[in-house]
Structure 1
Amino acid sequence: MTLNYVRFGNGSPLLLVHGLGVGWRSWSPIIDELAEHRDVIAVDLPGFGETPSLTGEVSIAALADSVADFIREHDLGGVSTVGQSMGGRIVLELARRGVGGDTVALDPGGFWSDRERAVFGATLRPSIGLVKVLRRFLPALLGNSAGRTLLLAQLSARPWALSRDTVLPDVRGLADSPSTGAALNALIHGPKQEGAASGTVPGRVTIGWGRRDLVTVPKQATRASELFPDAVLHWFERCGHFPQWDAPKEATRLILDRTERG
Structure 2
Amino acid sequence: MTGPTLHRTGSGKPLLLVHGLGATAHAWDMVLPALARHREVITFELPGHGMTAAEADSGTFVGLIRSMNALFDEHGLTGIDVVGSSLGGRIVLELARLGRVGNCIALDPGGFWQGWEAKYLAITLGASGRLLRLIRPLLPRIAAHTLTRGATLLQLVNRPSGLDPAMTAHELRAFADTSTFGALVQDLSTGPSQPGPAAPSTGNLVIGWGRQDRLCLPRQAARAKAAFPSAKLYWFEDCGHFPMWDQPQEAVELILATTA
TM-score range relative to shorter protein: over 0.9
Aligned to 2:243: 243
Instruction: Report runs of 4+ in structure 1 exceeding 3 Å deviation.
Output: none
Which segment is superposed worse, 107-116 or 174-183? 174-183
CA contact (8 A) 1:103 1:206 kept: yes
Structure 1 residues 217, 36: CA separation in 2 closer, same or farther (over 3 Å shift)? same
Structure 1 unaligned blocks of 5 or more: none
The answer to whether residue 100 in structure 2 is matched with residue 84 in structure 1 is no
Which segment is superposed worse, 154-163 or 27-36? 154-163
Whichever residue aligns with residue 233 of structure 1, its letter is L
Q: TM-score scaled to structure 1, two decimals?
A: 0.94
Which segment is superposed worse, 223-232 or 122-131? 122-131
Q: Spell out the pairing of 1:6-25 with structure 2 (5 A cutoff).
A: 6-25=7-26
CA contact (8 A) 1:21 1:172 kept: no
Whichever residue aligns with residue 240 of structure 2, its letter is G
CA contact (8 A) 2:47 2:58 kept: no
Aligned to 2:60: 59
Which segment is superposed worse, 76-85 or 185-194? 185-194
Aligned to 2:229: 229
Q: Spell out the pairing of 1:151-162 with structure 2 (5 A cutoff).
A: 151-162=152-163
CA contact (8 A) 1:212 1:239 kept: yes
CA contact (8 A) 2:57 2:64 kept: no
Deviations 1:124-164, CA, capped at 9 Å, x for gaps: 21011111100000011111122112211111112244331
Aligned to 1:69: 70
Whichever residue aligns with residue 49 of structure 2, its letter is F
Q: Work out the CA distance in 1 between the residues paired with 2:58 and 2:75.
A: 25
Q: Work out the CA distance in 2 between the residues paired with 1:61 and 1:203.
A: 24
CA contact (8 A) 2:140 2:166 kept: no
CA RMSD after TM alignment: 1.4
Whichever residue aligns with residue 58 of structure 1, its letter is G
Q: Work out the CA distance in 2 between the residues paired with 1:182 and 1:62.
A: 12
Which segment is superposed worse, 27-36 or 79-88? 27-36
Structure 2 unaligned blocks of 5 or more: none
Deviations 1:184-229, CA, capped at 9 Å, x for gaps: 22211222111116x6352111000000000000010000000000
Q: Work out the CA distance in 2 between the residues paired with 1:194 and 1:226.
A: 10
CA contact (8 A) 2:89 2:108 kept: yes
State the Cα distance separating 1:56 from its structure 2 match.
Answer: 3.1
State the Cα distance separating 1:171 from its structure 2 match.
Answer: 1.1
Q: Work out the CA distance in 2 between the residues paired with 1:150 and 1:51.
A: 29
Whichever residue aligns with residue 241 of structure 2, its letter is H
Q: Spell out the pairing of 1:133-172 with structure 2 (5 A cutoff).
A: 133-172=134-173
Q: TM-score scaled to structure 2, two decimals?
A: 0.95
How many residues are paired up? 259
Aligned to 1:253: 253
Aligned to 2:209: 209
Q: Work out the CA distance in 2 between the residues paired with 1:169 and 1:201.
A: 37
CA contact (8 A) 2:17 2:83 kept: yes
Q: Work out the CA distance in 2 between the residues paired with 1:161 and 1:252.
A: 16
Q: Work out the CA distance in 1 between the residues paired with 2:16 and 2:187.
A: 23
State the Cα distance separating 1:166 from its structure 2 match.
Answer: 3.6
CA contact (8 A) 1:14 1:39 kept: yes
Deviations 1:74-123, CA, capped at 9 Å, x for gaps: 11221001100000000000000111111100000000112111111111
State the Cα distance separating 1:57 from its structure 2 match.
Answer: 5.7
